[in-house]
Every structure is written in structure tokens, then in C-alpha cells.
Structure 1
Amino acid sequence: MPQAALLFVRAVEAVNHRIGRMAMYLILVLAGILMWSVIAKGFFRPSLCTQEYAQFTMVGYFMLGGAWSLMLGANVRMDLLYARWSIRTRAAVDCVTVFAMITFFVFMLWGGIDSTLYALEVSERSRSACRPYMAPVKIVICTGAFLMLLQSIAFLIRDIATLRGVEIAPPRGADPQ
């Protein structure tokens, strides 16, 4: 396996691990936003923005944590046959099926970048009563799609290495605990 490919896999997985670990704390931010919403509705004047901010926080949590989740294998997989196959057979099948995932993320990123550029050009705002700018959440979506695209390419390199009989060690600290 070329050294550059191994370095790419290690770098992508190290970045996704760090960003994913930071993104997991967004669930606490989301809980805080929702708690404030409950308190404000009960004791103060209800805020018009909490639902939208909660949605934006959830988008960040989902999109920025997605690549880390993929890396850990926490994604949903149909194990009816897959679990019974040898590691080399899994790698061979994954080498073919990963192109569907790569294609999805390429189109998602392409559309996301186009939408983000539009949001930046016209200072797009939400149509809600709160009217926050849309560009920040669209940038987060594009960042998450880019990280998942890189992780998909790292999967492809890892599977090719497995077919060649080379094992690429997972990044240090990338265990699901």
C-alpha cells in the first residue's frame, strides 16, 4: 500500500475522531436549548427562536458526528449475509458498494456548496419569526458531508488494503467507548 494512502486514512480518521468527539457535546447544548424553552414557556415569555436553534443544533450534531459514527461502524448495516462472510469477502463487496456512498456524498456536497454560496450572496434568512441567517447551518452541512466523503474514501482505501493483505490500524482512541 502506498505510504500516502496510509497517511490519508490515518489523517482523515484522526480528524473525524476529534471533530466527532467535540460534536457529541452538542447534545448537551441541545438539551440546554430545550430546557430553556420549557422554562421560558412556564415562567417567562415564550421564545420564538428555541425550536429553530434546537433544529440547527441537531443538524450540527448529526452532520459533524456522522463521519465519526461511520468510522466506528455505528451505521446501520444489513447483517443477514454480511456477518457470515470472511473479512476479505466483506472488503471486496465494500469496495463495490462504497461507490454508492461516495456518489451520494459528492452530490450532497455539490448541492450544499451551491446552496451555501447562494445563502452567502443574498444573506438568506429563515422564513420563521426569528429569521436567523441560513449560511452558518449550511456551512455545517457542507462540512459534515465533506468529512463523510473523506471517510468513505478512507473506507475504500482500507478495503483495498485488506484485499492486498495489509491491515491499517485504526486511529488511537477511536474505540466506541
Structure 2
Amino acid sequence: MPGARVCDGERVTLRTLEEEDRAFVQRSRANPDIRYPLGNPLTSRTAMAAGDADDDGHDLLACLDGEDAGPGAVDEDDVERLGTVHVDDVAYKRPNLGFWLAGEYHGEGYGRESVALVVDWTFREYPTPAIGAEAFASNEASRALLESLGFEREGVRRDFMFVDGEHRDMVCYGLARGDWE
């Protein structure tokens, strides 16, 4: 069952990512439409669990809460899982965020709301002067989402990741606290 509510927006709620959410994450990230834009290899639930120790970041579940969903852990029937948002290096000067949504939720504005929530939460919880994010040069939807929230393009890491048989450029973005507030 999804975990406790971290923050919520008009439609999207961010909750703690729990063990019971692994099947959703693994199944969704196995989809080539998500895996290739993320640059992630196929990963089993066992491998995901083994690599889960991240003391300097937060994995959050983006979901739609039903009417009966309370602030604590909720029943499966009370939420609809959309995807995840992640912020890492939060103890460093510049946290970096990542995000993805299951394919059936693309184009509905859920990604933008989820990323805005995690940006707002990160600036509220940590004294960081800026937040970074990256997207493959070929991932126009993610780049447009970041730019729509005020992230500025800061550079390109050329041939940064090897995905599906070819090297891909990674576009780097940043958002200063003052530009968000």
C-alpha cells in the first residue's frame, strides 16, 4: 500500500514510496516508452530492493488520491499510482531531480504538477539555493516540462549515456530558489 502523504496539489498527491509499490515501479519502468527516455536498464524487484539504500535522497510516489485516502498509509483501492519523482543529493548544495509517469498518464498535466510539488517541497525542506535536473536531448516532453516550470538550460553532456545501441546527449537544467519564489 502507498505510504504517508508528503504533500498534495490540486490533483496529484506525493506519498512515500513503499515496498508494495515496487511491482508498479518495476512494471512501468520495463516499458520501453519509459525505460529508453530514462536511460534505465531492466531491473528486477530483487535488484531494486538491494539498491534502495539512498540516505541522501527521496523517492516519492505520484498518485491520485480517492475520496477515502487519508494522510497516512492508504489501501490499494484509495489511490491510483501515476509514477515517481526523485530528488537526490539533498544534503549537497544542489539537489537533482528525476521523474517519470506511466504511459497512460502522459499529456494530462500530472507530470508538471508532480514536478512542481517536489520542487516546492525541496525548497521548503532544504536550504538549497538551486535545484538541477537532466533530460535526454531527444526527450522533448521532459525538456518542455522543465522549461515550463522555469528551469533554465545550462549545458549539454555530449554522448553521456549509451541507450538502445547509441550514445545520447543529456541536457542539464537548473532552477534558482529566487526564480521559483
What TM-score, normalized to structure 2?
A: 0.22
Higher relative contact order (CA 8 A, sep 6+): 1
Structure holding more helix per residue:
1
What TM-score, normalized to structure 1?
A: 0.23
Structure holding more strand per residue:
2
